[in-house]
Amino acid sequence: MDAQGRGQADDNNVDPADQWVFNPNTGNYELRLDPAGQGPARPADRKAPGRRSARNPRAGGGDTDTRPLPVQRGRGADDDEPAEPTEGGRAARRAAGRAATAVAAGAAASRRKPKPKKSGKRKFLYWTAGVVGFVLVAGCGTAFVIYQQLDGNIKKVDVGEENSAVTDGPVNLLIIGTDARTGKGDTGYGDSGSVGHADTTILMHVSKDRTNATALSIPRDLITDIPDCPTKQPDGSTKVIPGQQHVRFNTSLGQEGRDPGCTWRTVEKLTGVKINHFTMADFNAVKDLSDAVDGVEVCAAKDINDPKSHLKLTAGRHVVKGEQALAFVRTRHSVGTGSDLSRIQLQQQFIGSLIRKLKSSAFGSPSKLLDVAQAATKALTVDTGIGTASKLLDFGNDLKKVDLNKITFATVPVLDNPRDKATVVLDTAKADPLFKMVQQDHTLAKGAGKDKGGKSAPVKKAPPELVRVDVTNGGGPFGAAQETVDWLQNTKGARLSTNAGNAPEKLSATRLEYAPNQADQAATLAEWMGLPKSALKKTGADAGPRVPMKLVLGKDFTAPGSPIEAPTETPEGVQHVNADDKNICAK
């Protein structure tokens, strides 16, 4: 609230605490502006109390109360022009400030509607029950909450996909931080005159059962392919921007007029993961949000003095905010290898600490909640599927079930590019199983989502020379059947494998059909191919001695030797940390 909002109440004899009433049906506090308490006020139809109108005729006429809500912080409805400085307007702001402060202090002694007592944990839950859970943007890192009155802060881009805010399945959120210079003090960062690139990108996967989440950081200097991208133009038409091959990932945004939908499509092509929504913010987000939460604790394992980012920190723990917070997530020359990969680890540390700060304190009072909401929503751009406050509300409520200690940050595995030392290439041996874990909704978090059922007795495996199988291509890459047969015969010693051509139908998932007396052969082949249990289909009758099993390669097949089943543990060599780890320090 502004200074006026903290002033003394006016003389209208209305207790501000009475204007905020807890609604047990929604779990939210709602602003009631009519003294009789007939119902919660709505932005479009709030009735001005007659008592207030009589005492202050300058406050406005008619039957609509146009006084600013507490979240408007004394500004006009569009938040671009100052509110009219009438005595009535100042009085309304003071009353609104008193209302929020009273609720924050636990002013439950309302004369009209006593508020139920809650434990500390329950208090956090009911403050956030009507609030979006969290959204993170590393490099422009942010986490936010929102009230319905913040609708006008949200910017949105039509990327040609408008998915529902809430889904029954897993949720994949693309978080983009741009290097655009749009705010005061940002001249020392990003490319001069740039419209903004995908400087920092995180693919946040939230599991179907909402027990865990995986956040994959994608290096900006990764060499990849950018697909053709249809973009909406100001006149409503659609322009297709041609794709490019073997270019930096960060050029998927900004270059050639590419919008966030182009980065969306690039990530889908790279990872094989279907994205539901995106959020995007620039440098201002990390500055404003860190200010809103009164700083974020970070740790340095050694002294940091980076002349590029202007970050100076002694070894140990520090609370950073504003410009210093931005410098922390932007620095790289004095930590690790001095590369963008080292900066990614700083960003992951910052985001984890920011979430802990938000959960421990930022939701503890309405005034802090609103400061965070204002900072976050003003810095945010989203897709049309979550482009309103109500949709964001539903989206956040759906995701808020994930515990902090079940959020895992990981970095997409890469190798130095032998052709250009300033860039990196995908380490497919490690990246493919990691992408499969996300595709098949397997968690990277330890102890989350594990199968608690008992394991069946292992099946005895047949030797390679007895494995007899016909291989058909039912959706895999061109030539996949012959490539698989060559691999089986020459690498695994399965001489009785045969290329049976194309399958009569396309399958989304690879399938192995076998008879009961071929279970040992199926076990051997499933282990070689990395087949999940869902791919094994046992027939009813035993097969003859020379009848082969039938392996149909589906759309999930990439190459022989690349497991179709996702691993249940994080692949060895993949950098990953837990969001709740308080002992991470920049080295």
Alpha helix segments (H runs only) across 361-479? 366-378, 389-399, 428-439
Instruction: Give me the residue label for tokens 């030539």.
Output: 479
Q: Does 465 have pLDDT greater than 60?
A: yes
Whole-angstrom CA distances from 309 to 335, 352, 431, 446, 571 are 12, 21, 31, 35, 33
> What is the average pLDDT across 349-370?
75
> Following DSSP, what letter does each residue of 224-287 receive, concatenated?
EEE--EEEE-TTS-EEEEPPEEEEEGGGGSSGGG--HHHHHHHHHHHH-----EEEEE-HHHHH
Q: Does 407 have pLDDT greater than 50?
A: yes
Cα–Cα distance, 579 to 141 (Å, whole number) = 14
**What pLDDT digit, counting tens, does each position of 475-493 carry?**
999 999 999 999 999 999 9
Q: What is the mean pLDDT of the chain?
A: 76
pLDDT score for 184: 52
Q: How confident is the model at residue 375 (pLDDT cuts 50, 70, 90)?
A: confident
> What is the average pLDDT across 374-385?
84
pLDDT score for 292: 85
**What pLDDT digit, counting tens, does each position of 247-262 carry?**
999 999 998 999 999 9
pLDDT score for 197: 87
Dihedrals phi, psi of 390, to nearest 5 degrees = -65, -40
Cα–Cα distance, 231 to 234 (Å, whole number) = 10
Cα–Cα distance, 491 to 97 (Å, whole number) = 73
Cα–Cα distance, 488 to 494 (Å, whole number) = 5
Across 17-21, 510-514, 560-564, least confident range: 17-21
**What pLDDT digit, counting tens, does each position of 9-32 carry?**
344 444 433 444 456 565 554 545
Structural domains of the chain sorted by starting position, each given as residue range(s) with its CATH number in brackets: 4-117 (no CATH), 127-445 (3.40.630.190), 464-553 (3.30.70.2390)
Instruction: Give me the residue label for tokens 């039509």.
Output: 158
pLDDT score for 14: 43
Alpha-carbon Rg for the chain, nearest whole angstrom, is: 28
Sheet with 549-553, strands from edge to edge, namely 496-502, 468-473, 549-553, 511-514, 536-538
Q: Tell me, what DSSP letter sits at residue 336?
A: T
Give pTM, 2 decimals.
Answer: 0.66
pLDDT score for 50: 41
Q: Does 181 have pLDDT greater than 50?
A: yes
Strand partners, 248: 223
